[in-house]
């Protein structure tokens, strides 16, 4: 037998579930969900069926027609694999469905439970999911590979006055629980207890398990477009700010449709999560999750929304078959995002975005200089936790590959190709080889014009990659070079700069400069106090690397305010990789004091950084 995916126990010889019906009872006090997952196969199956699990307690497996037990076992070492978890093997006998009754663990990596004190309201608890890359298995037993697409229904039982949102369509208004409807998932005494309500959702388009998502808490909402509603836990002020920041969502959707074809998901709603959310955004279909750090007050945070929107075509509609082909999701989406931004916000803004990406890609070459395997578009990830090697490579090298093809064949021809590609493979999970075959079939001779093998299998940045060129980009890089000579930008030179320009400027400065230069730059422009975390963190990282101890206090405040890994990684790394013992001790103390406020995924990433520099 062969595994379908290096990050899943799913066997290629076994059928893939096509539907799952979930019944979930939320126990906030125990930070646990009691539930059942009714998995339906395309046809009756006899023999083993392997499912992925991690930190799940399996109570029973039943035949849903007869309620007879289905034999199950855990056919692996009693110690779960730290990355994959533990396989659950069902022994089916001419059966096309199985009902798995389970409970999650408080340590589930897919869930973050927040106490009332950790929320903006300070009155109600909150919980949300993050299933990418391979965390759905800690939420419910499933074939946790992007190769396995399925539709689902979900019934959620919550305490009053909490409400839920989900990356799915709401099937009905919240209602009272009904005796017997939870079946084996939860006894009626709990399910129908006073002060509980039930909410139901349906996703009728096949998605991979990593896109399963919900949140529950004191959530308010506001419409900002024909297809978009903004949700937030943080109260009226945050909701107002989010509504202003993302007011252009409908214009972006229309731009995306013009470029890539119909928007297939109906709604494009947004949920602004608490600051502990570990990513900038998560492209959950119909309900994008966002960090509050993208709300900057100048609509520039909408570029993150453009990226998550672009996933509606490249990532959600067409999905990488495994994480070894992650560039098919993120390279395409980065390209699509910049095309949308170019239409909505202009060519200069898109060029700045490209410039920041180019700088980030070059930085990743330095990060992986001792293991260049991870600079490939299609790396070997056997035995590797995808969260640990998450980087800009699939995003920016993938973007560069597609941009290289566009430059070769011309934008009009490439636009036709893109629409054809999306129409051909929508609602499918594919690998790099499938893409390359389609590319060569639809752009004949491209393999003779571009070294496709070097782009996909080669390490580093190919020689025909290109640094973006624009007047504003060139001006910023020139000013960065002037800083190396001791010159700080004049106020008139930066008068119209937004956070994006400052981010690009800082990213192009030397990795370490004289502390006096750092202090002078900050005295002029107060970058350490910027409301834009992209600017603030880039500056603080430079300050740490330059040995400026006076900024340690601001670094600590930042690490205790946000849990976005894009900020945690560089700041913790900068603290521990130098020679200053004080900085290393500070990093460990801050993490010890803050660990429980971070999402489990972020906890693991920071622990890995600290372990490498112990």
pTM: 0.96
- Residue 76: pLDDT over 80: no
Q: Is 282 annotated as a binding residue?
A: yes
Find the mean pLDDT for residues 473-501: 93
- Tell me 195's DSSP state: T
Average pLDDT over residues 302-317: 96
Cα(342)–Cα(606) distance, rounded to whole angstroms?
35
- The pLDDT value recorded for residue 528 is 97
Residue 183 has pLDDT above 80, yes or no: yes
Helices 533-545 + 565-577 axis angle, to 10: 10
pLDDT band at 164 (very low <50, low <70, confident <90, very high): very high
What are the tens digits of pLDDT across the range 354-365?
Answer: 999 999 999 999
**Does residue 300 have a pLDDT over 80?**
no
d(CA 375, CA 352): 23
Is 235 one of the annotated binding-site residues?
A: no
Residue 299 has pLDDT above 80, yes or no: no
> Residue 6 above 90 pLDDT?
yes
CA–CA dist 368, 384 (Å, integer)? 14
Which pLDDT band, with edges at 50, 70 and 90, does 298 fall under?
A: confident
pLDDT tens digits for 536-572? 999 999 999 999 999 999 999 999 999 999 999 999 9
- Is 278 labelled as part of a ligand binding site? yes
- The number of beta carbons lying within 10 Å of the beta carbon of residue 457 is 12
Q: Per-residue pLDDT averaged across 305-311, rounded?
A: 97
The conformational region for residue 55 under phi > 0 = left, psi -120 to 50 = alpha, else beta, is left
Residue 296 has pLDDT above 70, yes or no: yes
117-150 burial, b at 16+ Cβ within 10 Å, e below that, comes to ebbbeeebbbbbbbbbbbbbbbbbbbbbbbbbbb
Residue 566 annotated as part of some ligand binding site: yes
Residue 29 in this model has a pLDDT that exceeds 80:
yes
The reply, when asked if residue 449 is annotated as ligand binding, is no
Give the side-chain half-sphere CA count within 13 A for 59: 15
Q: What confidence score (pLDDT) does residue 614 get?
A: 77
Catalytic residues: 308, 395
So what's the pLDDT on residue 444? Answer: 98
| Residues above pLDDT 90, as percent of the chain | 93
Would you say 342 is a known binding-site residue?
no
Over pLDDT 70: what percentage of the chain?
Answer: 100
Tell me: is residue 315 an annotated ligand-binding position. Answer: no
Whether 1 shows a pLDDT value over 70: the answer reads: no
Residue 133, both tokens: 């890359």
Per-residue pLDDT band for 120 (boundaries 50, 70, 90) equals: confident
Q: Radius of gyration of the chain from Cα atoms?
A: 24
Task: Consult the annotation and say whether 279 binds a ligand.
Answer: yes
């Amino acid at each position: 037998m062969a595994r379908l995916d290096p990050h899943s126990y799913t066997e290629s010889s076994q059928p893939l579930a096509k539907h799952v019906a979930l019944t979930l009872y939320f126990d906030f006090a125990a930070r646990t969900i009691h539930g059942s997952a009714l998995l339906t196969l395309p046809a009756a199956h006899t023999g083993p069926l392997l499912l992925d699990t991690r930190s799940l307690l399996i109570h029973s497996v039943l035949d849903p027609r007869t309620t007879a037990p289905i034999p199950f076992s855990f056919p692996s070492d009693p110690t779960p694999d730290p990355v994959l978890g533990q396989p659950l093997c069902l022994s089916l006998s001419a059966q096309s469905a199985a009902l798995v009754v389970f409970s999650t663990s408080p340590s589930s990596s897919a869930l973050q439970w927040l106490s009332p004190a950790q929320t903006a309201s300070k009155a109600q608890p909150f919980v949300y999911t993050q299933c990418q890359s391979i965390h759905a298995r800690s939420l419910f037993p499933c074939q946790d590979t992007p190769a396995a697409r399925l539709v689902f229904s979900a019934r959620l039982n919550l305490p009053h006055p909490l409400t839920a949102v989900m990356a799915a369509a709401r099937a009905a208004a919240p209602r009272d629980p009904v005796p017997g409807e939870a079946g084996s998932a939860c006894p009626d005494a709990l399910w129908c207890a006073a002060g509980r309500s039930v909410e139901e959702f349906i996703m009728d388009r096949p998605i991979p398990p990593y896109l399963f998502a919900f949140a529950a808490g004191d959530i308010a909402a506001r419409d900002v477009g024909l297809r978009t509603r903004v949700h937030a836990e943080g109260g009226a002020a945050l909701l107002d700010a989010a509504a202003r920041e993302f007011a252009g969502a409908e214009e972006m959707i229309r731009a995306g449709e013009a470029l890539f074809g119909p928007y297939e998901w109906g709604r494009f709603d947004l949920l602004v999560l608490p600051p502990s959310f570990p990513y900038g955004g998560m492209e959950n279909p119909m309900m994008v999750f966002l960090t509050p750090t993208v709300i900057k007050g100048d609509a520039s945070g909408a570029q993150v929304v453009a990226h998550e929107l672009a996933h509606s075509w490249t990532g959600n509609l067409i999905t990488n078959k495994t994480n070894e082909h992650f560039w098919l999701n993120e390279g395409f989406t980065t390209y699509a995002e910049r095309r949308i931004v170019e239409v909505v916000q202009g060519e200069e803004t898109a060029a700045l975005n490209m410039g920041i990406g180019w700088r980030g890609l070059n930085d990743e070459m330095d990060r992986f200089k001792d293991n260049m395997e991870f600079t490939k578009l299609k790396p070997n990830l056997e035995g590797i936790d995808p969260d640990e090697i998450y980087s800009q490579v699939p995003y920016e090298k993938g973007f560069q590959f597609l941009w290289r093809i566009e430059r070769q064949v011309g934008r009009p021809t490439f636009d036709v190709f893109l629409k054809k590609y999306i129409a051909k493979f929508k609602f499918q999970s594919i690998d790099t080889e499938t893409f390359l075959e389609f590319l060569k079939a639809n752009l004949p001779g491209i393999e003779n014009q571009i070294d496709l093998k070097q782009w996909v299998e080669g390490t580093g940045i190919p020689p025909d990659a290109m640094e973006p060129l624009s007047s504003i980009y060139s001006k910023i890089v020139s000013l960065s070079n002037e800083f190396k000579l001791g010159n700080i930008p004049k106020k008139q030179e930066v008068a119209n700069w937004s956070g994006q320009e400052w981010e690009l400027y800082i990213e192009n400065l030397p990795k370490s400069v004289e502390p006096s230069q750092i202090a002078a730059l900050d005295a002029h422009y107060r970058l350490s106090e910027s409301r834009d975390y992209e600017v603030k963190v880039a500056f603080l990282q430079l300050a740490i690397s330059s040995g400026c101890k006076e900024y340690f206090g601001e670094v600590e405040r930042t690490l205790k305010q946000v849990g976005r890994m894009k900020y945690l990684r560089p700041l913790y790394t900068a603290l521990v990789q130098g020679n200053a013992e004080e900085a290393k001790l500070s990093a460990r103390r801050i993490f010890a004091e803050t660990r429980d406020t971070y999402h489990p995924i972020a906890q693991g990433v920071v622990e890995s950084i600290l372990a490498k520099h112990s």
